[in-house]
Amino acid sequence: MTIRKITIIGGGAMGTALAVNLSKKLCVTLVLRSAEEAAEISRTRLNSRYLPSTPLPDGISVTADLAAALKECDLVLIASPVSAFESVLKSVAGLRAEIPLIWACKGFNPISGEPLSISAAEILGPNACFGILSGPSFAEGLAENDPTAVVVATNSRQGITLSIAEAMNNDTLRVYANSDLVGVQICGAIKNVYAIAAGVIDGCGWGVNTRAAMLTRAVAEAKRYLDRHPSEPATLIGLSGFGDIYLTCGSRLSRNYQVGMGLAANLPLAKVLENLGHVAEGVNTTRLIHRKALELKVNMPIIAAMNEVLDGQKTPRECVVALMAREIGYETGAQPTGS
């Protein structure tokens, strides 16, 4: 499998940053929603709305013509918000369902709460090759060529996954192949919830003790959730798991972290999102994971607390009081045998 040409669908910060980074090695076409926006970026070589400090290299083609962009490419990468994922996928399926496709969206189907690979299988068909690109990677760092490491996981044979990873790998982007498609998707989505919690902690003025406690227990409850899905334990300690949790929970660049900061300031959620001006996937993901955790009977107290904060049932401080007052048990959840 030879990959020389990639079409990236989505002109937001991540889509633009990936186009800039991957253009060092691949022939890149960036597809935007409107012809006017595509023409403006083609003329100025700058996405002034989402990535204003990074000029687009001359080798990147910018268009709104999806059919033309898909005609000769070897790989498709969807970098849209999760809410637009299915509509974009259907457009691709109607034109070239046979082409390998990956996405950089980190979330679940907004209605069913299922991993996006479920939708991909239904829309693209049983013989399609599809997967996810995930890991600790802010758009700004990718565009500025900060050394970055991510993973790609697909539904296909290891050789195909490795070929995609090798094609996208370059001198500043290290791409590992991963066989755990479901686990990588869950980790990429759940870390956004914990980023909201990290923002709440900092917004409330608590220190590193609180952050360390939250992150450690977040990994523990994420493991319980992953254990109830067809996933691999090692994924949680890899780039798409702990790596992405560490990045997103530790930086003010994270949109979800900023949501937590706003909530800690007692701003209504609607106002927080209005001030943000961008999509924060963790808001809907919190509700979806909480609903699924109740269904599966998985104990996820941090997820439940964030759900209460987002729904306005409790303030962040009230939730922390409740978390600290929970019944004491063994850390690992298993009582030791013997006396």
What positions carry a catalytic annotation? 191
- DSSP-assigned beta bridge partners for residue 151: 134, 176
Q: Phi and psi at residue 254, in whole multiples of 5°?
A: -70, 125
The torsion angles phi and psi of 200, rounded to 5 degrees, stand at -60, -45
Residue 171 backbone phi and psi in degrees, to 5: -70, -15
**Residue 40 burial by Cβ neighbours in a 10 Å radius (0-12, 13-18, 19+):** middle
Backbone angles phi, psi at 165, to 5 degrees: -60, -45
Calculate ∠ Cα 111-260-262, nearest 5°: 110
3-state class of 246 per DSSP?
helix
**CB–CB of 99/164 below 8 Å?**
no
Give the Cα separation of 122 and 104 in Å (integer).
Answer: 19
The total of other beta-carbon atoms located within 10 Å of residue 27's CB is 17
Burial class (CB in 10 A: 0-12, 13-18, 19+), 224: middle
Give the number of other Cβ atoms within 10 Å of residue 65's Cβ: 13
Closest CA to 16 of 40, 39, 48, 43: 48
Residue 158 CB coordination number (10 Å): 11
Helices (H), the chain: 13-22, 35-44, 66-70, 85-96, 116-124, 139-143, 158-168, 181-203, 208-227, 244-249, 255-264, 269-276, 282-296, 301-310, 316-324
